[in-house]
Structures are given as structure tokens and as C-alpha cells.
Structure 1
Amino acid sequence: MIRKILFSSIPLLFLFNLFIVSAQSITNIEILDIEENMIITIPTNPKIQLEATKIIKEIDSVVKKLNPIPDKGYMFKIPLTPSLRLENKWVNALIGEVIIIIPEDEKPYLLIFDDENKPYFFTFKTEIDTLLKTLDFSL
């Protein structure tokens, strides 16, 4: 029981880190292996930011899950420099970073925070293969 609580809190700590780091200048991408509780940091580049921007622009719906953080999979925290203005029917905010969540047996979705740090989970139409290739990452 305690182990389950401990491991389920790891993704929450990752998300909490967003609030602390968001005040700083973010230049690295963080990749979290949710099950292994391991974070890898790699430098960002314009190609990765372009792919992340394409994904954000293809938002098509809201994630309809009670607990959108999976037990297994990956989370990619990608800074956006410069920040991107996102305007759709769910949110109108300046986005400084995006978190792409890739559950083990589901389609990926993303997490963004608005100007008041309110989280939004969205599905998107874009395939992530190009992003993964640009990151030199395989699932």
C-alpha cells in the first residue's frame, strides 16, 4: 500500500516541479519514465520545439479521464521558446512549455498550464513519430 502511494506520487512530483521550474529559464527537455521513476534531460533545439508546436496546434478534444496520469509510459516536458499563444474553445493562454504524455497502451495526449497554472489535458490529431525521431527516442 505504501509502495503504491509512493510510486503514484512520482508523476505528481514531476508535475509539481513544473511550477518551481517555470519561473526559471527552461532550456532542456525532461523525459520521465513513469514506471522506472527516472528522468533524462536532453538539450532542446528548434526542430523539437517546431514539432511540439505542431502537436499543440492539432488539439482536437479534452482528455476525459478521472486520473489522466498513467501508471506506465513516458512524459516529455518540452519548453517553448518563445512562448506560444494558444487560443481554442477550451483555453486562451500563453504557453511556455508542453508535456506530452505517452501511456503504455493508449494514444498520447498533452498537458499544458494556462497563465494561472491551471492544468489542461488535451488529445491531438498529430502523430508523434516525427517528434520521437527528432528526440532520437524509441518506445
Structure 2
Amino acid sequence: MIRKILFTSIPILFLFNLFIVSAQSTTNIELLDIQKNKIITIPTNPEIQLETKKIIEEIDNIVKKINPIPDKGYIVKIPLTPSLQIENKWVTTLIDEVIIIIPEDEKPYLLIFDDESKPHFFTIKTEIDALLKTLNISL
């Protein structure tokens, strides 16, 4: 039981670390392999920013899971330059980063933090293949 709690808390701690580090205005993309607990850093560029903006615009619902952090898969943190205003029926806020969660056997979804640092998990109706290709990542 303790082991399960410990392993479940690692991705959550990673997400909080991502949020804290984001306040330092990083311009690199961070890719976490959840199972290996390994982070790869990738420089961002305008093409990645454009693809990320397209994905954010395709938010179509909220994630309805009790624990939205998977045991296997990837988490990609992408800083947004400039910050992006999101307005939909669930949240209206300015974000300076988006976190894309890519579970091993499910569709990817997004995590954003609002102005009050409250997390919001969203499903998207678009594929992220173009972004992954732009990032030169094959999952």
C-alpha cells in the first residue's frame, strides 16, 4: 500500500515541480517518461507554439477521472510565449504553459493552471501527432 502511494505521488510531485519551475519563465519543453521517471528537455520554437495553440483551441470537455495522472505514458510541459487567454464554459484564464498528458493506452488530455493555481484537466478533440512530429518525439 505504501509503495503504491509512493509511486502514485511521483507524477503528482513532478507536476507541482513543473508548476513551481514555470514561475522561473523557462523556455524549454520538458518531456517526462512516467514509468522511467526520466525528463528530456527540448528547446521551443514558433512552430511548436503554433501547434500547441491549435491543440488548446480544441478543448472539448473536462477529464472525468478521479486520478487523471496515468501510471504509464508521458507528460509534456510546454511554456507558452506569449501567454494565452483561454475562455470556455469551464474556465476563463491566462496561461503561460500547458501540460499534455499522454497515457499509454488512452487519448491525450491537457492540464492547465488558472490564475489561482487551480488545476484543470481537459479532453481535446484533435490529434497531437503534428505536435509530436514538430517536437521530433516518437512515442
Q: 1:11-50 to 2 correspondence within 5 Å?
A: 11-50=11-50
In the alignment, the residues of structure 1 paired with residue 121 and residue 28 of structure 2 have an alpha-carbon distance, to the nearest angstrom, of 22
Find the counterpart in structure 1 of residue 113 from structure 2: 113
How far apart are residue 89 of structure 1 and its match?
A: 0.4
Give 2:62's aligned amino acid. V
Distance in 1 (CA, whole Å) between partners of 2:39 and 2:19 is 17
- Provide TM-score, normalisation by structure 2: 0.96
Whether the 8 Å CA contact 2:22–2:79 is kept in 1: the answer is no
Query: How many positions carry a matched residue from both structures?
Result: 139
The AA in structure 1 aligned to 2:96 is G
Q: What is the rounded CA distance, in whole Å, between the counterparts of 1:19 and 1:130 in structure 2?
A: 25
Q: Map 1:97-112; keep pairs closer than 5 Å.
A: 97-112=97-112
- Which structure 1 residue ranges, 4+ long, deviate > 6 Å from structure 2? none
Paired AA for residue 10 in structure 1: I
Distance 1:58 1:72 in 2: 24
What is the alpha-carbon distance in structure 2 between the residues aligned to residue 4 and residue 31 of structure 1?
23
Cα deviation, residue 127, structure 1: 0.8
In the TM superposition, what are the counterparts of 1:124-139 in structure 2 within 5 Å? 124-139=124-139
Aligned-residue offset at 1:137:
0.5
1:7-86 aligned at under 5 Å gives the runs 7-86=7-86
Aligned to 2:6: 6
Cα displacement string for residues 87-118 of structure 1 (whole angstroms, at most 9, x for unaligned residues): 00000000100000000000010000001110
One-letter identity of the residue aligned with 1:121: F
Deviation per CA, 1:46-83, whole angstroms, max 9, x where unpaired? Answer: 11111111000000000000000000000000000000
CA RMSD of aligned residues (A): 1.0
**C-alpha separation between the residues in 2 aligned to 1:99 and 1:33?**
13
- For 2:25, what is the secondary structure of its paired residue? coil
